[in-house]
Structure 1
């Protein structure tokens, strides 16, 4: 796994796992997990999901990730509520009023379009939490250069290369106790406001209970 890939995976978890750990109090201990697949779905203000991330965890460590364009992926049986002649698309699944149901549909769509892949847990995160975590981090630097990223730069990246400076900067911020604390508090606040959707809850409770947050970044 190259350095860029490890940085990008780590930052995804800085943004998304802070919410998950916050939701369950960051408790430690619990049963070990072996190999698990987590589908992370950042959504824009309309609820649309343009890019999703499949993150694999083996024995508590991030082992791999795949970025996926949601274009062309449809549910095998569920109709689009706005057009009964078409199937519900991954892109639109999270625009449904019932976010958890939409996330379950997204999970089913991904599995149906990727033979042999089982999703153990899925998380959808609104743009607001990404914006707030970036803001809470304070000054972000790419080397010696101060950068000012937006949520859109991560939700709809033009390429992995375009997000690398953001990833580097956020990861460095997450290593600083003061900055990481502010990021955690922002994520926790947004979780309580409903800006994070998780399914199934038991999986994420077990994940949070099984691993020290920072251990995922080893």
Structure 2
């Protein structure tokens, strides 16, 4: 448990500050960051609502690619019976967390992304809206499109952004960029680390290597 918490702290620091602290992060690594929406009811933890591949080199972010939405599907996974009944022939990335086995679902999501991008994923991080909101508040206040984002629901904020004409992908990208910009402040590292551990312990963040 302590090792996994340590890993979460390190990964979140890498993602949201770009600093390097320990030698084992030397070299290039691919981190799959998945946002889960639990409001789309199913046996598992929710639907994949956003996804990024974060590339780090020596602990610093060198690339951030939005890979969802996009219609990605697993090449050979069995489609759950209900999804088959509504016409799905392939297991979509959106539905990889359908079953109530988060570790197996994370592997399906990773395999789906690797199949479509030809990129080897080293770590998968999964976060739900409560976890995202906690990290936003730890990094905040954020400024998105000239407006201050503080103590608000990230889902509601992004839906409002969509109602003004932006796509879901653009809305997510704007929040992510604001978080990364804010967290360049070294004073944000401790609050982000504390928030990451708290949200992991609460079951709002998962990490799989």
TM-score scaled by length of structure 1: 0.66
Aligned match for 2:95, one of 78, 82, 92: 92
Quote the residue 1:184 is aligned against: 193
CA drift of 1:170 comes to 6.3
Counterparts of 1:98-113 in structure 2 under 5 Å? 98-113=101-116
In the alignment, does 2:61 pair up with 1:68? no
Residues 19 and 184 in structure 1, CA contact (< 8 A), matched pair in contact too: no
8 Å CA contact 1:79–1:86 kept in 2: the answer is: no
Alignment of 1:159-170 (within 5 A): 159-160=169-170, 163-164=173-174, 167-168=177-178
What is the match of residue 168 of structure 2? 158
Structure 1 residue 163: deviation in Å? 4.9
Number of residue pairs matched by the alignment = 181
C-alpha deviation, 1:166, in angstroms: 6.9
Partner residue in 2 for 1:207: none
Structure 2: runs of 5 or more not aligned: 1-5, 15-19, 41-45
Report the secondary structure of 1:75's partner residue: coil
CA contact (8 A) 1:23 1:191 kept: no
Question: Alpha-carbon deviations, 1:53-110, whole Å to 9, x = none?
Answer: 0111123221112101244211111112134572221001123311111111000011
1:172 lines up with 2:174 in the alignment: no
Q: Which residue of 2 aligns with 1:127?
A: 129
Preserved contact between residue 19 and residue 191 of structure 1 (Cα < 8 Å): no
Q: Which ranges of structure 1 fall in alignment gaps of 5 or more residues? A: 1-17, 201-218
Q: Aligned to 2:9, what secondary structure does the other structure show?
A: helix
- Cα pair distance change 1:69/1:193, threshold 3 Å: same
Which residue of 1 is the match for residue 79 of structure 2?
A: 80
Taking only aligned residues, the RMSD between alpha carbons, in angstroms, comes to 3.6
Residue 36 (structure 1) aligns with: 29
**Segment of structure 1 superposing worse, 148-157 or 183-192:** 148-157
In 1, are the aligned partners of 2:158 and 2:172 still within 8 Å (CA)? Answer: no
Give the TM-score normalised by the residue count of structure 2. Answer: 0.69
Is the contact between residue 50 and residue 70 of structure 1 (CA under 8 Å) also seen in structure 2? yes
Q: Distance in 2 between matches of 1:161 and 1:104?
A: 27
- More RCO (CA 8 Å, sep 6+): 1
| Deviations 1:171-207, CA, capped at 9 Å, x for gaps | 3366262x5433332221110122112111xxxxxxx
